[in-house]
A = this chain, B = another copy of it.
């Protein structure tokens, strides 16, 4: 039951607290977690799951606006979102930045850090959140013993690569409204997979963050929302979204630009 040492942090603000593992918190470790079908332990047997419980060492609360990790932080663990919502972003030297993804419950964060043993992007909570720490050293150890875990971890990383290809596609070939439609449908589908409504949800991110992710300016995102609303595809009120015509949204994607 290893607890990851907190990284030393010059400024003492904006950082999250590690919750040491107690009998109480163990109750929500993987074998009892209702996210297990979406998360790392997918497909493990009862006994294997028991061993993964010993891997997931501690949980950590991250308040809205706080960083889970920052680019440059030493890489020690990957994180599974237990509750809440995160964004990851990359920062260029010249100040430009881009949101590379949004993560919700059951999704993993931090795999970018393995390559150079340091995180290469920032992870910020968009609402009060809680994550499970998965110390990487131990994950390696356990996954060399449990083949299913190794296989599944590889799949998770591979899925991340495939997801990134999808974003590249979106950024490289789609027009503004297609990008937003794809984004909404993707969110909708992920909320559904978690048992929430696929038709009605609350955006945790600002128009600017959506724009950054989609390679658009916030005004363009706002205009696209308004246009979708006028066309009767969705109902928007600030961050509250209701999808009225999912089929039409999907058709927007399959339309040839020429």
Residues of A within 8 A of B (CB): 90, 92-98, 100, 111-116, 120-121, 140, 143-145, 147, 150-151, 154-155, 157-162, 164-169, 171-173, 212-215, 253-257
Contacts and interface: CB of A to CB of B under 8 A. Distances in A.
B172 A215 contact: yes
A173 B144 CA distance: 40
Given A112-B162, A144-B150, A161-B164, 19 more contacts: A90-B165, A92-B169, A92-B173, A94-B255, A96-B173, A96-B256, A98-B168, A100-B168, A112-B161, A115-B158, A115-B162, A121-B165, A143-B150, A160-B161, A164-B164, A164-B168, A167-B168, A168-B171, A172-B213
- Copies per complex of this chain: 2
A172 B121 contact: no
Contacts of A253: 94
A145 B141 CA distance: 10
21 contacts: A90-B166, A90-B169, A92-B173, A94-B254, A95-B256, A96-B173, A98-B173, A111-B157, A111-B161, A112-B165, A115-B158, A120-B162, A120-B165, A140-B147, A143-B150, A164-B164, A164-B168, A168-B171, A172-B213, A172-B215, A173-B215
Contact of A93 (B145, B167, B254, B257): B254
A17 to B, nearest CB: 27
Given A121-B165, A144-B143, A147-B140, A158 B256 contact: no
A103 B97 CA distance: 26
A97 B165 CA distance: 11
Contact of A158 (B100, B111, B165, B214): B111
A147 to B, nearest CB: 7
A90 B97 CA distance: 26
Contact of A98 (B145, B169, B256): B169
Most buried by B among A98, A121, A147: A98
